């Protein structure tokens, strides 16, 4: 029997991590002799929904086992979630879904909508009933949505891998102890085989999170071999409980949906929309840059926030007439602000000519003339030439920008945003989900 087990929304800002619950379930499955048919899947969902968890990641474990073991697997998963989810926290609403057989196409469509837009619990429950799956939910049961979406995203298209190393429980909440020099050396040696290890603008280490969760570090890369090799280069100064390699949609731009016009831009959706810059960008308190684009259907504000580093500097040099594609999540309108795209990256299609008007040169000595006042003409302070008939001349100014893609630095990137280092490394779509028996040693280790 092929069984897909999805679960989501088990953690809270104060404790826990859904990937860690996956690691605990994997260990229990190992003891039960259950076979995996894919790497554990870590699926990041729409990062703009207001009720999202911290990283908005849902998990799916895909296994093959004797049908007689279904009850034991179900009990194992539910028991592990109940023991480790932060059920006392108001916003934690876990859900788990068990689906037997092949993943239906309608569930795949549901997953795409959960990654790119807004889906409803009742739609998830309708599909669960239709295809004979089983769902278990707690409190508001919102985690059922992510659980079904994780099952439906089979990662046939571009995907990456992440190795997550977990801390021992006694160290949770304490400062993480990892040799920074080893991370820097690993980053240099791995090149584009891994990504977002270090922020290039600030030098900040990015593989170690800052919260009280069980994660010691997470290394993202192009293949399981790459992230495992990188892991072996990192020197941990505290014991590692275990590590797991996940197959994921990190760094793939899977959340973006191209919309045909600005009027089709909807709140909370991650979108790509094309338009021409109107007016000049404005810098508002906090260092955030606001610019506006328009097309035949309307206009919309776009915001590059201060943490976006060089991306903010790029958009501040846009001028009216520049043709751009803006990538970002849509913030709904409020009493103080209109509907706005929070910019994650921008593609400059073409640049308008920047024209400045300069005083003419002196026809006698070549020095730049000075104005004698409005409508009074120009004079040369060097040779004394003056004329009321000359006018300012238009000069095209070379702009520092070039057409291309500009992305926020890794420290402020969304999990799903594809970094520049991955362009050209995308994996080709597969006609069928790549399921096959995978040994535990390929994706899980417990010292």
Mapped onto helix, strand or coil, the DSSP state of residue 260 is coil
Residue 54 has pLDDT above 70, yes or no: no
Determine the pLDDT at residue 55. 61
Q: Is the pLDDT of residue 215 over 90?
A: yes
pLDDT score of 163? 98
Q: Mean pLDDT in the chain?
A: 94
Q: Which of 266-270, 343-347, 387-391 shows the lowest per-residue confidence on average (mean pLDDT)?
A: 387-391
pLDDT tens column, 149-208: 999 999 999 999 999 999 999 999 999 999 999 999 999 999 999 999 999 999 999 999
Residue 421 backbone phi and psi in degrees, to 5: -65, -20
DSSP 74: H
Our measurement of the distance from residue 89's CA atom to the centroid of its chain's CA atoms, rounded to an integer in Å, reads 26
**Cα 169 from chain centre:** 28
Give me the percent of the chain exceeding a pLDDT of 70: 99
Mean pLDDT of the 295-323 span: 94
Q: Is the pLDDT of residue 52 over 70?
A: no
**pLDDT for 257:** 96
pLDDT for 365: 85
- Hey, CA dihedral for 107, 108, 113, 115, is it positive or negative? positive
Residue 326: pLDDT above 70? yes
pTM for the whole thing?
0.92
- Mean pLDDT throughout 25-38? 97
CB 338 within 8 A of CB 370: no
| Residue 212, pLDDT above cutoff 70 | yes
What is the pLDDT averaged over residues 386-394? 83
């Amino acid at each position: 029997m092929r069984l897909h087990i999805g679960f989501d929304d088990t953690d809270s800002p104060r404790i826990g991590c859904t990937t860690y619950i996956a690691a605990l379930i994997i260990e229990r499955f190992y003891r039960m002799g259950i076979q995996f048919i894919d790497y554990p899947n870590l699926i990041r969902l729409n990062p703009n929904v207001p009720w999202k968890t911290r990283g908005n990641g849902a998990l799916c474990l895909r296994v093959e086992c004797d049908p007689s073991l279904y009850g034991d697997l179900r009990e194992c998963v539910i028991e592990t979630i109940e023991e480790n989810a932060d059920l006392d926290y108001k916003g934690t609403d876990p859900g788990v879904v068990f689906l037997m057989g092949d993943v239906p196409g309608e569930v795949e469509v549901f997953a795409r909508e959960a990654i790119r837009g807004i889906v409803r619990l009742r739609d998830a429950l309708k599909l669960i009933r239709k295809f004979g799956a089983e769902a278990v939910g707690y409190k508001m049961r919102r985690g059922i949505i992510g659980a079904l979406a994780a099952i439906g995203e089979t990662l046939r298209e571009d995907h990456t891998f992440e190795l997550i190393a977990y801390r021992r429980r006694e160290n949770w909440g304490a400062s993480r102890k990892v040799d920074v020099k080893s991370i820097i050396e690993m980053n240099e040696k791995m090149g584009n085989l891994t990504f977002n290890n270090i922020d290039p603008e600030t030098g900040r280490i990015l593989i170690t999170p800052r919260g009280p969760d069980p994660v010691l570090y997470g290394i993202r890369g192009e293949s399981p071999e790459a992230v495992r090799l990188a892991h072996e280069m990192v020197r941990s100064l505290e014991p590692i409980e275990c590590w797991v390699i996940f197959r994921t949609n990190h760094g793939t731009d899977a959340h973006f949906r191209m919309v045909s016009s600005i009027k089709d831009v909807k709140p909370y959706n991650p979108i790509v929309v094309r338009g021409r810059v109107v007016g000049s960008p404005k810098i508002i308190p906090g260092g955030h840059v606001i610019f506006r684009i328009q097309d035949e259907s309307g206009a919309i504000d776009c915001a590059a926030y201060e943490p976006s580093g060089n991306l903010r500097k790029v958009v501040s040099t846009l001028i009216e007439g520049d043709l751009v594609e803006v990538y970002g999540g849509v913030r709904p309108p409020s009493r103080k602000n209109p509907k706005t795209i929070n910019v994650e990256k921008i593609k400059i299609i073409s640049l308008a000519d920047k024209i400045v008007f300069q005083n003419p040169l002196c026809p006698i000595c070549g020095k730049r003339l000075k104005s004698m006042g409005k409508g009074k003409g120009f004079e040369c302070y060097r040779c004394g030439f003056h004329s009321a008939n000359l006018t300012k001349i238009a000069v095209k100014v070379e702009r520092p920008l070039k057409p291309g893609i500009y992305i926020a630095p890794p420290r402020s990137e969304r999990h799903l945003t594809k970094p520049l280092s991955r362009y050209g490394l995308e994996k080709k779509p597969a006609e069928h989900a790549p399921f096959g028996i995978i040994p535990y040693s390929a994706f899980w280790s417990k010292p």
